[in-house]
Structures are given as structure tokens and as C-alpha cells.
Amino acid sequence: MLAFVLRRLFQSLIVMLAVALIAFTMFRFVGDPVNQMVGVDTPQEQVAQLRQTLGLDEPVVVQFARYIYNAARLEFGVSYQFRLPVISLLGERAPATLELAFMSALFSLLVGIPMGVYTALRRDSWLAKIFQTVSLVGISLPTFLIGILLIYLFSVTLGWLPSFGRGEVVKLGNWWTTGLLTASGWKALILPSITLGLFQMTLIMRLVRAEMLEVLRTDYIKFARARGLKTRAIHFGHALKNTLVPVITIAGLQLGSIIAFAIITETVFQWPGMGLLFLKAVQQVDIPIMAAYLMLISFLFVTINLIVDLLYALVDPRLRATIGAH
């Protein structure tokens, strides 16, 4: 077992290095950061001097090696635009992103599962058909469009919810801020959470529906019916329970992508999270922020995958046997 864990850890490390390398080479094509930093009327000598200060005149390989060395010590450098350490910039914005991701995951589970169950049990009812149609919208409409439609409906036309920002936030401890303790914070969370969670909600609903239909056809459900158990007990006690295993796996894996793809939602709602910071960094060619963000996201995915792999090994006895044989 230990050997397996070590091997997976090693593989993860390789993946991280590969991501870093690809990211680093890609940045060569987004343009020249120095141009963004200096005014149009800065003399050429000053520009050259700045390039040297930032180490941008060295070969890419040297820049990359230095970057990896620093990243290993959690030093991601100083942002070109803000002239502040990247790690603290990301740290300040992480609570906003994590809170949004958590709320949308919660929304997609709490709405997606009941909808899935309902559409599976009452396949032909008109409500189920409406759910199915709505879920098509969730899958086919791009996130930014959904966000803007929601803003126009709920902020501009009805005036119920704010169109941007996080509302009033409360500081918890030194580096965590939360919008969950104020009314305006909750109000501000609603639209972005729905926008971000709509796709996941649709996915979960369809998954639950398909799994549920599958399970309902199995023999043990038929036997349960034959035994005269109550429909309610069969549906929720037996069928739903067995449906949830794949749902939990998918939901866990999707959490990573909710965080990573919050960029668009954050931009539409001016949500002060890491995604907004990243997008601005791309426009301003702020390489330290871009690189750190990509590393962070790939770290997130690698970690989630690693945990899932290890969990599988624990849960599935057959897999454990093969590992042992190695």
C-alpha cells in the first residue's frame, strides 16, 4: 500500500512540473510584461533596466528553474501590477472564491438530487418535463449569458438582488472574510451561486435520474416490491441510497472544476475572488499571478484525483488485491 501511495505521489509531482512548464512556456506568447508596466514615454534605458531587475532578460530555462526553486518554498514572487507578494494577493481572495464554490456545490446538490429523483419516479408528469427542459438550458447556455440574464431580471428589472460584489463581509481571524454573516452578503451570493452551480446541478440531476431508473429496474427492487414494502421505503431507503455512490464521486470531482471555472462567474458579477484576479493578470501580462494561479489550480486537481484514487483503493477490495500483488 505504501509503495502505491508513494508511486501516486511521484506521478502527481511529475504532473505538477509538466503543468508548470507548459504554463511557463505559454506565457512567452501573451506579450511583454514590461510594456504594460512602464508608461508610453519611458526612456528605453529605463525599460531595459526594469527588464533586468525582473530577470526577464535571462533565458527561459534559467527563469523556469528559478521559478520552480522559489515555488517549492511557496515563494511566487511579486505581482508586476500591484507590486505586492502574489501569495498574499491570492490568499486575500481565496475566501471569496471558496465560499462561492461551496455555495454553488451545495445549491447543485440540494436542488439537483430532488429534481433527479422526481424526474425518475414521475417520468411522464408535466413537471418532470419542465425540469428536463430547464436542465437543457443549464447545459447549453454559456455561463456568462446566464449570469447576465439573471442580472437583468433580478437586479435591473425587479431590483431584488445586487448585480455585483460580495456585499458586506465580516472578518474572521486574520485572513478569512465571510459574507455568510450579513444579509447583504447572502443576497450577493444568490445570483453568482446559481450561475456557477447551474451546470453542475443539471449534471447531477441527469445522473441521479439515469442511475435511479437503472436501479429501479434491478431485481432487488422487484423483490422488495414483491415483499410488499412501502413505495417510499423502496424509493428512498433502497433505490436512492444505491444511486448516491456515483453521485458523490462526480460531485467531489466537480468541486475542483467549480473552483477553477469560477473565473467567468466572478468576472460577470465582479466577485472579488482569485478568478477575477487571474483574468486581470492575463490582460496585464502579470506573469507571477498567472503562474501561481495555474499552479494552485493544478495542485487542487492533482490532490483531488489523488484522494479519489486512494479512496477507491480503500473502498474497492478488488483494486486493493491488485495493488498488493505489485
- The answer to the question of residue 270 lying near another protein (CB under 8 A) is yes
11-19, 115-123, 147-155, 311-319 -> range binding another protein (CB under 8 A): 147-155
- The answer to the question of residue 4 lying near another protein (CB under 8 A) is no
- The answer to the question of residue 242 lying near another protein (CB under 8 A) is no
- The answer to the question of residue 98 lying near another protein (CB under 8 A) is no
Given 94, 207, 285, 291, the residue binding another protein (CB under 8 A): 285
Single-letter amino acid, residue 74: L
Given 97, 143, 193, 267, the residue binding another protein (CB under 8 A): 267
Per the CB < 8 A criterion, the answer to whether 63 and 24 are in contact is yes
Residue number with CB closer to another protein (78 or 216): 78
Given 283, 311, 315, 322, the residue binding another protein (CB under 8 A): 283
Given 12, 63, 81, 104, the residue binding another protein (CB under 8 A): 81
Q: What's the rounded Cα separation, in Å, for the pair 177 and 173? A: 8
120-128, 145-153, 199-207, 308-316 -> range binding another protein (CB under 8 A): 145-153
Q: Which three three-digit cell numbers place residue 278?
A: 487571474
79-87, 113-121, 128-136, 302-310 -> range binding another protein (CB under 8 A): 79-87
- The answer to the question of residue 52 lying near another protein (CB under 8 A) is no
Per the CB < 8 A criterion, the answer to whether 293 and 79 are in contact is no
Per the CB < 8 A criterion, the answer to whether 140 and 228 are in contact is no
Q: What's the rounded Cα separation, in Å, for the pair 138 and 203? A: 9
Given 53, 218, 303, 322, the residue binding another protein (CB under 8 A): 53
Give least dist CB 162 to another protein, A: 6
If you compute the radius of gyration of the chain from its CA atoms, what whole number of angstroms results?
24
Given 16, 19, 21, 50, the residue binding another protein (CB under 8 A): 50
- The answer to the question of residue 32 lying near another protein (CB under 8 A) is yes
Q: Which residues bind another protein (CB under 8 A)?
A: 30-33, 35-36, 39-47, 50, 53-54, 78, 80-85, 89, 92-93, 144, 148, 151-152, 155-156, 159, 162-166, 267-270, 272, 276-277, 279-280, 283, 285
